[in-house]
Amino acid sequence: METRNLKLTLEYDGENYHGWQRQPRVTTIQGIIEEALAKVLQKKISLIGAGRTDAGVHARGQVANFKTKSNLPLKNLKAALNSLLPEDIVVKHAVHVSNDFHARYDARSKLYRYTILNAPLSSPLLRKYVYFFSYPLDIKAMKRAAKFLAGRHDFSSFRGAGTARENYIRKVKRLKVSTEKELICLDMEADGFLYNMVRIIAGTLLDVGRGKITASEVRKILEAKDRRQAGPTLPARGLCLLKVKYR
């Protein structure tokens, strides 16, 4: 029987999970989906994710792939998985891809969004998906500061303590600050991300917006390659993986 390589596009609320990656004795997105796949296909499945979202981080467009010899039609597979998965995880698309496709290694860039609710009062409906900040923010200054971070740089100043890498150079293809009523959206697309990189950059731009540092100081923070000089790591709940891009 011919082996098929199947690509899944996933949406999930990360609040109740210890991140994407399978881990012993804790509930993860990867683990839950692999359990559902095993029930549907009657065989243990190893799922490859495009990226390892951290505990509490959400996704609208996470991508994963797996190989199987099952000939179950894709629409039936998708329906079966969604009937077994908890309501906070959904398979949006299931497609057949070439056998050499790899969700992680073939990804050319990922697009994340960090959302800040800048309003006098918090929102009960949005509280799980935004970081609430009640004081006025200088959006223009945040936009100016964001420009210093676009391009190919050493992002050592914006890496979490758990980053176990020798190479901290990444190419930020886009870093856009936009507003929609009381929401401030920080959209960042890059060829790769260091641990907590988006959340630290969001915290640094927040410091610019609140006047704690100037926009031009962000360039100095970048050049310093010193995590202590950057802003705080904002909470995971405001972060969402919007899309993974391939060739």
Query: Where does CATH 3.30.70.580 sit in the chain?
Result: 4-97
The CATH code belonging to domain 4-97 is: 3.30.70.580
Treating both helix axes as pointing N-terminal to C-terminal, what angle do 139-147 and 197-209 enclose, rounded to 10 degrees?
130
What pLDDT digit, counting tens, does each position of 132-160 carry? 999 999 999 999 999 999 999 999 999 98
pTM of the predicted model as reported, rounded to 2 decimal places: 0.94
Query: Where does CATH 3.30.70.660 sit in the chain?
Result: 109-245
Q: Work out the average pLDDT over 56-61.
A: 98
What pLDDT digit, counting tens, does each position of 3-50 carry? 999 999 999 999 999 999 999 999 999 999 999 999 999 999 999 999
Element (H, E) at 192: none
Q: Work out the average pLDDT over 110-122.
A: 98
What pLDDT digit, counting tens, does each position of 84-99 carry? 999 999 999 999 999 9
Token representation of residue 13: 């609320």
Quote the pLDDT of residue 166: 72
Under a CB-based contact definition with an 8 Å cutoff, are residues 25 and 207 in contact? no
The CATH code belonging to domain 109-245 is: 3.30.70.660
Residue 54 falls in the annotated catalytic set? yes
Burial class (CB in 10 A: 0-12, 13-18, 19+), 145: buried
DSSP letter assigned to residue 241: E
Task: Find where tokens 């009937």 sit.
Answer: 83
Using pLDDT thresholds of 50, 70 and 90, give the confidence band for residue 225.
Answer: very high
Token representation of residue 109: 């860039």
From first CA to last CA, the distance across the chain in angstroms is: 29
Q: Work out the average pLDDT over 169-191.
A: 97
User: Active site residue: 13, 54, 138, 226, which one?
Assistant: 54
Quote the pLDDT of residue 81: 98
Quote the pLDDT of residue 164: 65
If one counts every other C-beta atom within 10 angstroms of the C-beta of residue 244, the result is 22
- Outline where DSSP puts E strands in the chain: 4-12, 48-49, 58-68, 89-97, 109-118, 131-133, 151-154, 169-180, 183-190, 239-245
Q: What ranges in the chain are assigned the alpha helix state H? A: 29-41, 74-84, 139-147, 197-209, 217-224
Q: Work out the average pLDDT over 207-236.
A: 97
Quote the pLDDT of residue 64: 98
**What is the biggest distance separating any 2 CA atoms in the chain, rounded to whole angstroms?**
63
Query: What count of residues does the chain have?
Result: 247
Residue type (1 letter), 9:
T
pLDDT, greater one: 164 or 121: 121
Task: Find where tokens 């507003």 sit.
Answer: 179
What pLDDT digit, counting tens, does each position of 156-171 carry? 999 987 666 678 999 9
Whether the pLDDT of residue 1 is over 90: the answer is no
